[in-house]
Structure 1
Amino acid sequence: MGFPPAAYQPRPGSVLDVDRAFYGRLAGGGRDLVEEFVVPIRSGRAWPVPAGHLCRLVITPAGPQVGDLNIWNRHNPRERLWAARTRQLQSAHVSTYDRLWSNLPYLRPLVTITNDTLASYGVDADGGRVHDLLGSRCDPYVNRMLSDEDFDFHCHSNLVRAVLPFGLTEFDVHDVLNVFQCTGLNEEDKYFMKPSPARPGDFFEFFAELDLLCALSTCPGGDLSIPLWGPDARDPLEVCRPIAVEVYRPDEELLSGWQPPKSPRYQGMHGLRSES
């Protein structure tokens, strides 16, 4: 049985038509490493990524680990990743050549994914896929509700601590991209999570379309092979591992013709009219 077509259908030549040749050259072209660090287990870190640079999240030799990624416009944190609209414009699980979009009234690509070593994972027998926008970050509030216990190192809290040095607060932390995470919807249309299929050396790379502030939490669930909640839940500390981050400056000639994206030129006033 066939499926209905996607609801959001772009016109030819829109910003949704990604120049694959350009991003393919970026993915395989020359570059210089300008920053690298490792995010330890059950922690978070925020870092700037200048426009026109590449950022790579890497599974370390320690093994698979899920990461929760937040993104903001570096100069205007009101503009940030909009997971819901990205699901509609791209898909619920993203990979190479997909874009991560910002919220209204900005609505433009923050990043374009240039490389994903898990792209071939596809859809598994349970309907699971990787790099999801279906779920959000784990947080201490829902943990208290489900377990009647306090825990300070959920992804929401890790991200809160990470962004404080940049003048942001808990109110700026938003829905995430779950990198290296395998998820789907079960027969009850409920969200499920599976163990991460990532292996040492796997990476997820994106190109910064604007000056960005990124923040990553290494999930306290580790590779998600041990349930966080439910009758089989226990502390998954043994499957928690770090994630490495690398920032690259592409060779200048690879950026020829590229410009940061602009917001849609909506000219209206949302139906409001001023009284003269």
Structure 2
Amino acid sequence: MAKVPAAYQATKGSILDVNKEFYDSLTATRSERRLVATLTVPMRDGLAWVVPAGHVFRIKVIEGPQVGDFNMWNLHNPRERMWASRTRQLQAAHVSTYDRLWSTLPYLRPMATIIEDTLAGYGVDEDGGRVHDLLGTRCDPYVNRLLTGEDFDFHCHSNLVRAVQPYGLTEFDVHDVLNIFQCTGLNDDDQYFMKACPAKKGDYLEFFAEIDLLCAMSCCPGGDLSIDLWGPEARDPLETCNPLGVEIYEVDHQLLQGWSSPQPAPYKGNHGLRLQPVDWPELKKRCC
């Protein structure tokens, strides 16, 4: 089959043209970082945390294989949040080193850049499966009710809702996720499939925070996804569930010389709308 080029192409010097030398310098000097926080996302639960711009955060397997459903917001403006579908177009449906997670309109800028991935060598398996998935989204109690007729409050959507509540966010702020450590693909019928998580204890995915971030993650109640969650073979996968770890690092400030947080997209075209000045006296006649 002929290789069709990507629709969204990076031009030299554009924001899509990643400075790999800069990000490589952050991993080459990892021994000089200062660990500022170590967190645990409990099994079948969620957790939210803050990462300042210019810091590195690592999501790691600390016991056994486990999928994590990840959300991210601008710490100071939660209307700016991770945009899974645009990231899928600009980067890939399954992300790895040097890929960036992009924010929603009208901001459209990199929020975080992946700088290290211990599963990068997994590649594409015999079924077309790949890891770190942007194809699907979080499990939720609404679809579970449709499929099983039962209520269960600890789906990834619900875990994320509880995790961000202390930060003043609600269910309406939870959005499509990056499925970290999850192996997925599309079958011959163009349908989404999930496979058992290939991650092992010690594996990690590491990010550089491009802006001040609020992050949240759910330890999926499906565990490593080796057991069917729905359908005739479905059973409770509790035995496959594990916690996940989060580490936040401050890097040497010398490494950040010349780097600055990316600015929101510069488009100011007003979408072709022509705004008319308000005739306040006439408006008052109509409504008063």
Pairwise TM-score range, normalised by the shorter structure: over 0.9
SS in 1 for 2:272: coil
Partner residue in 1 for 2:232:
231
The question of 1:27 aligning with 2:40 is answered no
The equivalences for 1:1-276 within 5 A come to 1-29=1-29, 30-60=32-62, 62-275=63-276
Aligned-partner Cα distance in 1 for 2:40–2:164: 16
Q: 1:117, CA displacement in angstroms?
A: 0.1
SS in 2 for 1:7: coil
CA offsets, 1:141-188, max 9 Å, x none?
A: 000001111100000000000000000000000000000000000011
SS in 2 for 1:270: helix
**Number of aligned residues:** 275
Q: 1:9, CA displacement in angstroms?
A: 1.7
SS in 1 for 2:276: coil
SS in 1 for 2:265: coil
Q: 1:3, CA displacement in angstroms?
A: 2.6
Opposite residue 51 of structure 2, the aligned amino acid is V
Aligned-partner Cα distance in 1 for 2:175–2:27: 28
Q: 1:254, CA displacement in angstroms?
A: 1.1
Aligned-partner Cα distance in 1 for 2:28–2:42: 29
Aligned-partner Cα distance in 2 for 1:275–1:100: 37
SS in 2 for 1:42: coil
**TM-score normalised by structure 2 residue count:** 0.94
Unaligned runs of 5+ residues in structure 2 are 278-288
Opposite residue 181 of structure 1, the aligned amino acid is Q
Q: 1:267, CA displacement in angstroms?
A: 2.4
Which has the larger displacement, 5-14 or 188-197? Answer: 5-14
Aligned-partner Cα distance in 2 for 1:117–1:219: 20
Q: 1:89, CA displacement in angstroms?
A: 0.2
Which has the larger displacement, 153-162 or 262-271? Answer: 262-271
Q: 1:10, CA displacement in angstroms?
A: 2.8
SS in 2 for 1:260: coil
Q: 1:233, CA displacement in angstroms?
A: 0.4
Aligned-partner Cα distance in 2 for 1:239–1:132: 19
Which has the larger displacement, 177-186 or 26-35? Answer: 26-35
- Percent identity reads 68
After superposing on structure 2, the runs of 4+ consecutive aligned residues of structure 1 that deviate more than 6 Å are: none
Which entry has the higher C-alpha Rg, 1 or 2? 2
Aligned-partner Cα distance in 2 for 1:224–1:147: 18
Q: 1:28, CA displacement in angstroms?
A: 2.1
Aligned-partner Cα distance in 2 for 1:130–1:39: 20
